[in-house]
Structure 1
């Protein structure tokens, strides 16, 4: 069973670093999207929109 008090305590202790790690995840997602093939204008448009959404 999950100890909700402990979970809350640990989450609170690390909440201040969340944004730093979120940015790392967003950047990695963008890099992975950039590796996908861009064979057609439609696919390129979709990938660019997805990458933009992940970065913002």
Structure 2
């Protein structure tokens, strides 16, 4: 499954899931929240884009 297929299957994440995904990439969830804002943090496509996919 590609990251974009994942985003299609799971369009929204919980805040906990989003933070875990960010941490799994060795990044800081606070930085993601600051860059994306709290509303976009849980939108999978936005988060994947922020992660660089």
TM-score interval (norm. to shorter): under 0.3
Q: Scaled by the length of structure 2, what TM-score is found? A: 0.27
Return the structure number with greater relative CO, CA threshold 8 A, min gap 6.
2
Which has the larger Rg?
1
Greater share of residues in helix: 1
